[in-house]
């Protein structure tokens, strides 16, 4: 059956994900094949000390990504669809979007990248006996309570970015459990917010003068496969101002990028894990049992089906590496050696593997923003070398790749070495892994575990949310998400696995000794 025929019969599902630097739309067939893609580039801005995107950024980005998708569909198939089998929305998790009863945004959207909620996060971690990270929605809300921010008088509800876009398109304030687990702790037995912790929060907030019950401020929680509303007439006009798209299309629960990453890498079963690496980097490992201790640097979230998952989230990954790549491109353009970005990255990533295993004594800290795992409220990128270090391009690029994963390694060492959790496989996805075998070799060295990259590694979470939308309408009766993914999507999907090289593992560990010195320098320049 042709993809063109599936599109005409409204059998393809649409997924749209709001990433840090790109909004991507992906249409997939029931067996997960990509029918078409579209994208829109955007970037957060630092506004009065707050990392944010405006509502105009969000609305325009949504439309532009979808218009690019249908433009590509027209070029590829000669027509554009008027409907889909189902739609799903995903976005960066966490953050704080606060609205009044008229759906007006009360303060600028505070994204996951902000690190101004340390006191609130620490108090809630102590109160709940459960790790609450600075970027969590509840930390932002409690921080506003502690600071007695005036917008709280008008507060009617809070949401995540995915939940907000879903609300614009369907009129329903709901969240997939994975995204909800980055707002507030989840009771995994009930697939809902932890009611005991809600009571504790309400009592603590009331002591500071905030009396609105938390339960009325949070979106409703849904699990993978649940029906989450339909595209309204207003939503159809927003998504496709041309008027071609018809309303009534069913939606799956909106999910966070962690949940879509797990789905896109078939890492929703216990003892599986994945690493998503791009502007930020995070690792997800689905647990067999709760951790033995509370680790402030380890989040506990869930899969889209509600299974407990350990999450190591780092705010900084490839932004500094990308900045250096752009510098090299500028130089190449200046001397008339123009090079497209794909080849640029292939060359720079490829030469990194020729560098010394320990980077030849070079070190770097890639922090553009704060980093909670290592205790930074702000960041300033650093590159450090000693007079006797081996300063070559190969070592420089290996240093940038190591630095991109160094903070992640600190968190993963807690899980693998301290908690001694078992992981059968780790799958990598995101831009860091697009150059064949390079990124996954570096990750394998960092975590001393085999790393698999699938053929569609660059599609990432947009493909994942499209799969969740497809699962909702194509699953068998009572069929778990993990079984459906095995049966329908990943059975014959091509993949490449790289096992860790012992010398590279030792080299990464040696690099981490110098990285500790780099962090001391980072503390000095960010005071």
The answer to whether position 277 is within a domain reads: no
Query: For the chain, what is the largest distance between any 2 Cα atoms, rounded to a whole number of angstroms?
Result: 66
Cα–Cα distance measured from residue 232 to residue 219, given in angstroms and rounded to the nearest whole number: 19
Angle between helices 502-525 and 393-413 (to 10 degrees): 90
Which alpha helices (H) appear in 335-392, and where do they start and end? 341-352
3-state secondary structure of 105: strand
The whole-number pLDDT of residue 456 equals: 58
Decide if 77 is inside a domain: no
Looking only at the bridges linking them, the beta strands covering 425-429 and 272-277 are parallel
Where does residue 103 fall: left (phi above 0), alpha (psi -120 to 50 degrees), or beta otherwise?
A: left
Domain that holds residue 333: 319-455+495-525
Q: Please list, in sequence order, all residues whose beta carbon lies within 8 angstroms of the beta carbon of residue 477, skipping any fewer than 6 positions away.
A: none
Tens digit of each residue's pLDDT, the chain (527 residues): 799 999 999 999 999 999 989 999 999 999 999 999 999 999 999 999 999 999 999 999 999 999 999 999 999 999 999 999 999 999 999 999 999 999 999 999 999 989 899 999 999 999 999 999 999 999 999 999 999 999 999 999 999 999 999 999 999 999 999 999 999 999 999 999 999 999 999 999 999 999 999 999 999 999 999 999 999 999 999 999 999 999 999 999 999 998 998 999 899 999 999 998 888 898 999 999 999 999 988 999 999 999 999 999 898 999 999 999 999 999 999 999 989 999 999 999 999 999 999 999 999 999 999 898 999 989 999 999 999 999 999 999 999 999 999 999 999 999 999 999 989 889 988 789 989 899 999 999 999 999 999 875 446 789 999 999 999 999 999 999 999 999 999 988 888 999 999 999 999 999 999 999 999 999 999 97
3-state SS of 14-43? EEEEECCCEEEEEEECCCCCEEEEEEEECC
3-state SS class at 73: helix
Distance (Å, rounded) from C-alpha 318 to C-alpha 162?
Answer: 23
Q: Which residue has the tokens 């907030």?
A: 205
- 129 sits in the region (left: phi over 0; alpha: psi -120 to 50; else beta) called left
Kindly state whether residues 102 and 212 are assigned to the same domain. yes
Strand partners, 45: 52
Distance between CA atoms of residues 330 and 332, nearest Å: 5
Among candidate residues 168, 200, 217, the one where a domain is terminated: 217
| 209: in domain | yes
pLDDT score recorded for residue 3: 94
pLDDT confidence of residue 455: 74
- Which residue in this structure is represented by tokens 């070190």? 363
CA distance 125 to 285: 21
Would you say residue 401 lies in a domain? yes
Q: Specify the pLDDT at position 297.
A: 87
Domain presence at residue 153: yes
Q: What DSSP character marks residue 230?
A: B
Residue 44 lies in a domain: no
CATH assignment of the domain containing 370: 3.30.420.40
pLDDT at 459: 62
Give yes or no for a contact between 457 and 278, defined as CB atoms under 8 angstroms apart.
Answer: no
- Of 399, 386, 372, nearest to 314 (Cα)? 372
Joined tokens for residue 388:
């006797």
Residue 397 lies in a domain: yes
Query: Which strands, in side-by-side order, build the sheet including 281-286?
Result: 299-302, 308-314, 281-286, 272-277, 425-429, 451-454, 495-498
Question: How far apart are the C-alpha atoms of 499 and 503, rounded to whole Å?
Answer: 12
On whether residue 109 sits in a domain, the answer given is: yes
State the DSSP H helix or E strand holding residue 407, giving kind and residue range, or none if neither. helix 393-413
- The reported pLDDT for the residue numbered 270 is 94
- What are the angstrom distances between the C-alpha of 185 and each of 63, 112, 190, 221? 33, 16, 12, 12
Handedness of CA 132, 136, 138, 144 (dihedral sign): positive
For residues 330 and 191, membership in a common domain is answered with: no
CB of 247 closer than 8 Å to CB of 200: no
Q: Counting every residue, how long is the chain?
A: 527
Please give the tally of structural domains in the chain. Answer: 2
* Same domain (yes/no): 201, 326: no
């Amino acid at each position: 059956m042709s993809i063109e025929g599936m599109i005409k019969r409204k059998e393809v599902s649409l997924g749209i994900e709001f990433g840090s630097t790109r909004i991507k739309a992906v249409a997939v067939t029931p067996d997960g094949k990509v029918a078409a893609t579209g994208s829109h580039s955007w970037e957060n801005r630092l506004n009065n000390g707050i990392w944010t995107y405006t509502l105009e950024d969000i609305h325009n980005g949504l439309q532009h990504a979808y218009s690019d998708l249908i433009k590509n569909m027209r070029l590829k198939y000669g027509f554009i669809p008027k409907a889909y089998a189902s739609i799903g929305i995903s976005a960066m998790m966490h953050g704080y979007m606060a609205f009044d009863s008229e759906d007006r945004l009360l303060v600028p959207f505070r994204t996951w990248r902000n690190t101004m909620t340390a006191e609130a996060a620490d108090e809630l971690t102590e109160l709940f006996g459960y790790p609450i990270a600075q970027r969590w929605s509840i930390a932002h809300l409690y921080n506003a309570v502690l600071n007695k921010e005036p917008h709280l008088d008008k507060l009617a509800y809070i949401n995540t970015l995915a939940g907000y876009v879903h609300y614009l398109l369907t009129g329903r304030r709901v969240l997939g459990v994975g995204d909800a687990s980055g707002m507030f702790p989840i009771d995994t037995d009930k697939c809902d917010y932890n009611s005991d912790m809600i009571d504790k929060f309400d009592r603590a907030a009331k002591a500071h003068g905030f009396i609105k019950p938390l339960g009325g401020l949070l979106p409703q929680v849904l699990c993978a496969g649940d029906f989450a509303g339909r595209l309204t007439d207003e939503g159809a006009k927003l998504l496709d101002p041309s008027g071609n798209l018809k309303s009534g299309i069913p939606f799956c629960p909106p999910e966070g990028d962690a949940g879509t990453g797990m789905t896109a890498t078939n890492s929703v079963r216990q003892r599986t894990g994945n690493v998503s690496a791009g502007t930020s980097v995070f690792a997800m490992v689905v647990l067999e049992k709760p951790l033995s201790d509370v680790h402030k640097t380890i989040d506990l979230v869930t899969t889209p089906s509600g299974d407990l998952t350990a999450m190591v989230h780092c705010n900084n990954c490839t932004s500094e590496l990308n900045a250096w790549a752009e510098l090299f491109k500028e130089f190449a353009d200046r001397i008339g050696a123009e090079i497209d970005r794909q080849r640029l990255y292939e060359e720079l990533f490829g030469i990194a593997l020729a560098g010394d295993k320990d980077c030849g004594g070079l070190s770097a800290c890639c922090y553009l923003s704060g980093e909670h795992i290592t205790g930074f409220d702000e960041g300033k990128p650093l590159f450090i070398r000693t007079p006797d270090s081996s300063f070559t391009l190969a070592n420089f690029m290996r240093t940038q790749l190591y630095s991109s994963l160094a903070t992640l390694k600190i968190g993963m060492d807690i899980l693998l070495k301290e908690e001694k959790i078992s992981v059968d496989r780790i799958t990598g996805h995101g831009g860091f892994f697009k150059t064949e075998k390079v990124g996954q070799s570096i990750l394998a060295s960092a975590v001393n575990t085999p790393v698999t990259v699938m053929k569609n590694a660059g599609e990432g979470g947009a493909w994942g949310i499209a799969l969740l939308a497809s699962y909702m309408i194509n699953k068998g009766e009572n069929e778990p998400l993990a079984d459906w993914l095995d049966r329908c999507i990943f059975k014959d999907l091509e993949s490449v696995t790289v096992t860790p090289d012992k010398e590279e593992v030792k080299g990464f560990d040696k690099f981490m000794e110098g990285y500790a010195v780099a962090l001391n320098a980072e503390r000095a320049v960010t005071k």
